[in-house]
Structures are given as structure tokens and as C-alpha cells.
Structure 1
Amino acid sequence: MDTINVSKDSYEKVSNVGDIVIREKKNIKLVFRPQIILENQKSPDAHIKGDLIYFRSKNKDYDSCSKVSVRELTDGQCLKITMHSDEINLLCEKISELNAIYKKSGGNSGEYIVFKSDEKLNIPEGVLENNLDILLNTLVNTKNPEKIVNVLSEMDYLGVCELNRISNLANLKKVLDMWDSLKQSDNEKLWQEKFKEYHWILSQIFCTPTLFIKDEAYVGGKTFEGTGGQYVDYIYGNNLTKNAFLIEVKTPKTKLMNSNPYRQGVYSPSSELTGAISQVLRQLDSFYKEFNTLNSGSEEMHSNNIRCVIIAGSFEDIKDNTDMLASFEKFRNELRNVEIVTYDELFEKIKTLIDILSE
């Protein structure tokens, strides 16, 4: 556990940090003197600057050493400072710690604790709670994860379960925050990328254990000229039977029902929705016809009465019209091979999981 003192410069938009000693032996000393940049207009993601200083003093009175500037070099001269690999690693590690301090406090003055994953800590009460972000970043970025695994394996079973619960809860809340910030987006490509990043979300649709197989998967249909191919957004499979599922993603803003009634009290599905259904059924037809070729004898997937799922729209747009809501439910429940799941239904399951893990 290291302590890093940060003091804000009253004149410049920086905070000063103590020297990082890179090398010290006999009569020489090599240090990096860092500063945390509080406001970097040119490079907002860059927060650390500093000086690399090489001292030479017979009596190790480094503070009284006179400064030799690189500006004193004349034409044709150069100044070379060789750093060893372990020294480079040390410098990178310390800069990473300073970046973590900036993210924690914005570089304000104070005393910060930096934890190391390979040491046993006697931590004063309250210090851990105030530096959790630095501790967790250190654990995540450790170069020897096996040590963490070994420590966890020696922990009490209930303790490991609690860590797992906390980790899952944080992941679920992160996904829910993503939904809250993007629920008004009608960018289909963005949603496809998000479900690729958090592909476990789509597994919440099914009541059986599922695994992610492929995104933007070719499911057949090309002509001799190589055109007209069908691609489905995602293929999932039953984890036990390996039976495939086809998933097509639209957006939360996809219109579910037409605004005007077809007859009194009766509403018809929107062209966006029926178009998505036709699209996924065509993908399914191509997939069946070319399954043996596409699967290439692999045991990875089977094609026994494949289910198709469309993620589209939101109840928010129809919930206040009971006739429209009833028409939608009757329509989707009559579909044989296609299941329609709205975005708010999907993320409501995430909320339920959060409630369960929070108890």
C-alpha cells in the first residue's frame, strides 16, 4: 500500500505530486517529477505531464544540484538517457495510479492510498471505503490474476457468492443506465452493437439456458452472382440441445401499431413490424434450406423447429390505448414461429434481476 500526496498549485491549473524514483544507486538518481493537469483543453483524456530528471552528486545532495537544460545543447549534440525494462514498467504503473487518482478526485489536493494486489494490507477503518475505485482498478489491471483467483479460492464460499452478487449487480445496473440513456435512440446499428457488447441480455428472452453463437450471421439466399444473401442479427442456441434461435433487432422507436383503427376498437400492426416479421421469416426459410451447408457437419447447432425473435418497439407508445394494446397482444400471441419482445419488456427483466440481487 503506497501513499501519494497531491498538492494543488495556486498559480497553474495543475497539482504537484512527489518525485517517482526510477533509479537510485551510488551517486546517481533518476526521477520522474509528475504533475496532474486539472484542465487539459487540447487533450481532455491526457491528465499527466512531468519532467524526467537525472541527478549526479558524490554526496547525494541532490537538492542542491544545479540544473543543466537541454536548451544548452549545441548543434549536433544529443542527450541520451537509457531506461531499463523494469524501470519503464515502474513508470507506467505509477502513471496509471496517478490517472486513477485524477478520475477519483479531479486531481485535488489530498492524501491518496494506492493498493497493490500482491500484498496483505492492514487497512485503517474508513480508508478502504474512500479508495474503493483505486483498489478495484488495481485488481482489474493486475498482471497476475492467478493470485486473485488463489485468494478467492481460499475465501469462505458465502464470501465468494457475495462478491459475485455485487459484481453481477454492478453489471446489471450499468446495462440499465445504458437503456435509460439510449431508449429514445432510433439508430438500429447502435442497438445491434450494444447487444453484441452485452450479448447476455438477449439470453433473458428465453426460459432455457442459451449461448451466443454468432452476430451478423449469413443464413443463405445468395444467387449465382453472389447477391441477395440473407443476414440475421444474431444466432443463439440452446445450451443443452444446441437448437438454434434467430434474433432480429430493430429499435425502441419502431412503431408497433398503426395510429388509426382498422375498425372500431381494432388496430392493425404497423408496416415496420410486419416488415420485420417478413424479414425474419425469409431469413428462417433460407436458413432451413441451406442449414446443412452452413453448419458444415458441425455439432454446434441443430435446426429443430427454430424460433425467431424480434426485439422492437416499446409499450410506452401504446399502453394508454387499451384497444391498441389488446390488438397488439392478440396479434403477437397468434404468431406461430415468431416471438415479438419489446425493449421495455426486455429491460424490465433486468430490473427484476436487480431487485432480486439487491435483497
Structure 2
Amino acid sequence: MREIQTKSTSRVTAQATDIVLRQTDSIRLIFRPTIIDNVKNKEAALKGIFLYQKKSKKAAWEDFETIPLSSVKGGEGYKLEIKTAELLQLFQELTQLYELHQKEGVPRGQKRYVQATPQLEQLASLSDSDIHSFSNANVAVGTSLLSKLLVWATSLDDPSPLIERLVEINPDSLSKLNAALGMQSLKNALASWEENECISDEEFWQESLTKHSFVLEQVFSWPTSIVKGKAYVGGKNVFNQDGNIVDFLLRNRLTQSAALVEIKTPMAPLLGAKYRQTYNVSTELSGSIMQVLNYKHSLQEDFQSLTGRSGDLFDSLNPQCAVIVGNAGSELDDPAKKKAFELYRHQFPGLTVVTFDELFDKTRQLISLLESEPRVEVESDDMPF
């Protein structure tokens, strides 16, 4: 089957792609079919016209003024020969249009139809139980097929027919699928951390936390969403210099309150040299804290000019701040180091310092919680006394 395109011409008609029966550089014979909603005879769902066109080799095919049959005089007539191969082609393609009408009725708007391969037609004809049995027996094949179907679904220009089918699915099944997708996203984020925790490229972690935004949203105890990564928060002078770019601008989804997040890398040191019975903090840690506090000050000062007419996007009354830096598990290997780090990071009201391994451990704990079996309380008739 060739590709068929249809376009509505009225509430009850749709014109289909021309069927080219004969063509050279200068002439062609086509049949232009129209699908109709025939209330008198549902099976008689097609009508059309033959067009014999002639043009110069470099010109485009154009419709032309025709001579009406009513102008034929006595002793005159029209003769149009259809060759055997052309007649067979016309029969086959009109049969496909009749089948299309039988399945779809008169298509609305603009649609495109492409014939499925025999293998795909066979797959579509399988029952739910057949597909279930086949996929269980061939997990790798089923997974590959599902992946390709999802890629196709996300590339659709008009997903409405697919949405209509999804609505017909049992709500419990959709809930299970949604839960499974969420769980897999959590596991993918955790696997990414475990494979790349030694990477010292800040841009990599910027992209990773953007991709796994739900991990970043666990920094704060309230529901957040990313407004923008690499967000400009003011600070430029009259020479258009010294602009402040924070790694992530977030907001509270309920109150619209802004939050600023500055990231370093898991390889950035948390502590510096030992000082008597304790330790200094590293330049990376102290510098990133001062940096995000400066961004907060800049955002509050320039809030009106930054938001303009989008003042409802977020609120800057008291932006919360966070710094994601270092790896506590690999660096804080004795009690004195842990004490120095904890004493320092809790000295800044409205600012959270969290290490990368702490952040991703929250994801690990969430996975564990979701996968744990629910406790079943067993009633007992035994009295405590």
C-alpha cells in the first residue's frame, strides 16, 4: 500500500491522495478519489474523477479547466482507454480506500496512513494473552519492541488517537506502569551516581542533576521544581560585566518561594589542613557558600528588573540556598573531620550544605522504602494481662 493522505473537504467528505495510473515527463493520468459518508448506501463510500494532464517538462502538474460532458454534441463523445495494469492498480488502491473507510469512517482533518508490514499486522492481531505469553518467553525481544514503540509514540505529531487508546486501559494498569517508570528513574539516577562518583567535571553534574531533577529536589524539605539551570540572577554593571549565574534556580511549588543551588563536584575537598585539634574547611566549600550567598543578595536586589512582567514566576522574599559539594563517605574518615564539617555547615541560617553521597543516599533510601513489603498487622486475641 502506498502512503495515503486524506484531508477533510466537508463534514461528510475527505479527499484522498491522487492515484497516478500513467505518467511520463509531460503527461499523466490520475484518479482523484473522495471518501464520503453515504447515508443511503454505507458501502458506496467512494467517488472520484479521472484527470488527464499535460505539461511542459519543467512545469509543475496543475489542475485545468475541463469541458463539461453536457457540451458534447450529437455524433461526438469522449473515449478514455484504461490499460489492464492501470485498471488492476486502480482496483487495488480503491479496495484499500474502501477498507480504510470501513475501519476509520471519513477521516477528520489531515491524516496520513501507511500500510503495516505483514509482521506488524500479525503482531497487531495477537490477543492480550498471546502477547503476554510471548513477552514472558522472550523478555529481550519484548523489551526492544516496547522501546521502539515508545520512541514512535513520543515522535507523533498528533498523539490524540494514542491518548484515546490509553484512556481505555484499566486505571490500575496505568498506575502500575507509572509506578514502575518512577522506580526505574530512581534506579537509573542511583546507578549513574555509582558509576560516575569520581568524575570531577562540574558540567557533567550540572547535566546529570538536570536530567534527574527529582534527586535535586530532595535537597529541601518542601516540594520544589527547577525554574532554570544556569540562571542569571543579576549583578551586571554598566559595562555589562560581572553577571551572576547560579547553577540552579528552584522554587517552592506551593508558595513560589525561590531557592538557589550551587554545585561543585564529588571530588571537591570539604576540609583543608589540620588546625590544632580541628580542621579548616576547604577553599571550595567556603568559596561556594559565599558565592551562593552573593547570588541570593543579587537576586533580592535585582528581583524587579529580572522578573519584569513575569513577577508571578517565583518570589524572592527570603530565598533559601544550598551547596552540593564533595563526598563525605570518602573524605570524612575520622571523628575529628566529621565534627569539623558538621560544626561548620550548620552555622548558616537559610543555607543547606549537602554532599553528593548524602544526596544520592536519599534516593537509595527512597528506593528501599518503595520496594519494601508493607507490614501486615496480625490481630491477636492474647491479652497483655
Name the TM-score class by shorter chain.
Answer: 0.5 to 0.7
Q: Which of 236, 239, 245 is 2:253 aligned to?
A: 239
Structure 1 residue 128 corresponds to structure 2 residue 142: no
- Return the alpha-carbon distance in structure 2 between the equivalents of residues 325 and 311 of structure 1: 17
Q: CA deviation at 1:115?
A: 4.8
Q: Secondary structure at the match of 1:177?
A: helix
Q: CA deviation at 1:140?
A: 4.1
- Which ranges of structure 2 fall in alignment gaps of 5 or more residues? 4-84, 86-110, 373-385
2:270 touches 2:284 (CA, 8 Å); kept in 1? yes
Q: Secondary structure at the match of 1:229?
A: coil
Q: Secondary structure at the match of 2:262?
A: strand
- Return the alpha-carbon distance in structure 2 between the equivalents of residues 148 and 257 of structure 1: 55
TM-score (norm 2): 0.61
- Return the alpha-carbon distance in structure 2 between the equivalents of residues 333 and 114 of structure 1: 64
- Return the alpha-carbon distance in structure 2 between the equivalents of residues 207 and 149 of structure 1: 35
Identify the residue that residue 271 of structure 2 maps to in structure 1: 257
Letter in 1 for 2:148: N
Q: Which of 269, 283, 306 is 1:271 aligned to?
A: 283
List aligned pairs for 1:1-359, cutoff 5 A.
115-116=123-124, 121-123=128-130, 126-129=133-136, 130=138, 131-133=141-143, 134-142=145-153, 143=156, 145-258=159-272, 260-264=273-277, 266-297=278-309, 298-359=311-372
Aligned residues with identical type, % of pairs: 30
Post-superposition CA distance 1:221-241 (Å, at most 9, x none): 111111111110110001111
Which of structure 1's runs of 4+ aligned residues deviate more than 4 A? 111-116, 118-122
Q: CA deviation at 1:268?
A: 1.7
Q: Secondary structure at the match of 1:237?
A: strand
Q: CA deviation at 1:321?
A: 1.0
Q: CA deviation at 1:166?
A: 0.6
Letter in 2 for 1:127: F
Indicate how the Cα distance of structure 1 residues 124 and 196 shifts in structure 2: closer, same or farther if over 3 A, else same.
Answer: closer
Q: Secondary structure at the match of 1:354?
A: helix
2:300 touches 2:317 (CA, 8 Å); kept in 1? no
Letter in 1 for 2:300: Y
Q: CA deviation at 1:200?
A: 2.7
1:203 touches 1:210 (CA, 8 Å); kept in 2? yes
Q: Secondary structure at the match of 2:243?
A: coil
Indicate how the Cα distance of structure 1 residues 269 and 289 shifts in structure 2: closer, same or farther if over 3 A, else same.
Answer: same
Post-superposition CA distance 1:236-263 (Å, at most 9, x none): 00111101000111101010012x3212
Post-superposition CA distance 1:68-104 (Å, at most 9, x none): xxxxxxxxxxxxxxxxx979x66xx87xxxxxxxxxx
Q: How many residues align?
A: 261
Identify the residue that residue 72 of structure 2 maps to in structure 1: none
Letter in 2 for 1:353: L
Q: Secondary structure at the match of 1:166?
A: helix
1:165 touches 1:357 (CA, 8 Å); kept in 2? no
Q: CA deviation at 1:272?
A: 1.0
- Return the alpha-carbon distance in structure 1 between the equivalents of residues 237 and 123 of structure 2: 60
Post-superposition CA distance 1:303-351 (Å, at most 9, x none): 1211111111111233321110111111111112321111111111111
TM-score (norm 1): 0.65
**C-alpha RMSD over aligned residues:** 3.1
- Which ranges of structure 1 fall in alignment gaps of 5 or more residues? 1-20, 24-57, 59-84, 95-110
Post-superposition CA distance 1:11-60 (Å, at most 9, x none): xxxxxxxxxx979xxxxxxxxxxxxxxxxxxxxxxxxxxxxxxxxxx9xx
Q: Secondary structure at the match of 1:165?
A: helix
Letter in 2 for 1:299: D
- Return the alpha-carbon distance in structure 2 between the equivalents of residues 114 and 166 of structure 1: 28
1:248 touches 1:310 (CA, 8 Å); kept in 2? yes
Indicate how the Cα distance of structure 1 residues 353 and 299 shifts in structure 2: closer, same or farther if over 3 A, else same.
Answer: same
- Return the alpha-carbon distance in structure 2 between the equivalents of residues 336 and 115 of structure 1: 61
- Return the alpha-carbon distance in structure 2 between the equivalents of residues 137 and 292 of structure 1: 47
- Return the alpha-carbon distance in structure 2 between the equivalents of residues 319 and 114 of structure 1: 61
Letter in 2 for 1:283: Y
Indicate how the Cα distance of structure 1 residues 199 and 125 shifts in structure 2: closer, same or farther if over 3 A, else same.
Answer: closer
